[in-house]
Amino acid sequence: MKQRTKGLIAAMVSSATFGMIPLFSKPALDAGMDTPSLIVYRFLFASIVIYAVMKYYKCDLMITMSHFWRISLLALINLASAITILLGYAYLTSGAATTIQFSYPIFTCLLMMLFFHERPTFKTVSSIILAVIGVALLSGIENGLGNMSVKGVAYELFSGLAYAIYLILVPKMKLDDLESSKLTFWVFVLSFVYMGLITFAWKGSITTPPTVGVGFSIVMLGLIPTAVSNLTLVVGLRVIGSTLTSILGALEPLTAMLVSIFWFCEPFSWIMGVGFICIVVSVTLLILPSNSAQDTAKVS
């Protein structure tokens, strides 16, 4: 039970810190930073943070060639999700984009059923439904979806699918011999390298932060919604598995909503309140002890 509690807390911290992405990315984008360059800096500073932590605790950085190829695959899938979610924002409102990208718990559940023969429990299915409804209401989906761009929807669905695949592969890639910090470090380093190459091929250069304030926002983007969130994500995936971790990801849009209300002073409606309650109930269902071994078993 202590391990399960650790996994649940780690997954919730991960999703909550992910939800702080707009707090640090919006100032940088508004100041003229392009998306590819922002992603490059995000993984660069996240790599530096994890490296500093590992050096402080004198952790070994070495990996085998077998590790390298498997981590490379994880890094590329992680990048695919990071790139397409931001590309989708160019075609959709943030509310609609958030709602569609949150398809990843459904993708995770379906992929686990199809390829790993996992049978979702009634509690799991109920949590997914409540979480999706809650995110839809929090994201302002009640304003209508009739004018959405097909390209934008495709980007966000692909982002959700890529993230679901990442959540599944982390505990399935037989990397348990690597500490969470080492695995996260190398995913970040390779993401930085690959994104740098993509950016030079795409844009020809990497944009320099225009002000010290923008630079600070980028550093914080690499620290909180990247380094902290991914370290705790790996812990959650290894302890409680892909399905539960993906559903607890509902805290991401919930955090984003709180940031928008208290930091950007955006209005709060009763519809959003209902969405808030749906997410709280969804997360509570998962946290409550279960007699089902399937709900509590670690994904190996």
Q: In this structure, are residues 46 and 54 in contact, taking their beta carbons and an 8 Å threshold? A: no
Structure confidence at residue 212 (pLDDT): 93
Neighbours of 202 (CB within 10 A): 13
Q: How confident is the model over 131-161, as pLDDT tens digits?
A: 788 777 766 555 554 455 778 888 988 998 9
Structure confidence at residue 94 (pLDDT): 61
Structure confidence at residue 62 (pLDDT): 93
Q: In this structure, are residues 246 and 106 in contact, taking their beta carbons and an 8 Å threshold? A: no
Q: How confident is the model over 94-112, as pLDDT tens digits?
A: 656 766 777 788 888 889 9
3-state secondary structure labels for all residues of 197-262: HHHHHHHCCCCCCCCHHHHHHHHHHHHHHHHHHHHHHHHHHHHHCHHHHHHHHHHHHHHHHHHHHH
Given a cut of 70, the residues of the chain with pLDDT beneath it are 1, 93-96, 98-99, 138-148, 264, 266-268, 286-300
Structure confidence at residue 292 (pLDDT): 45
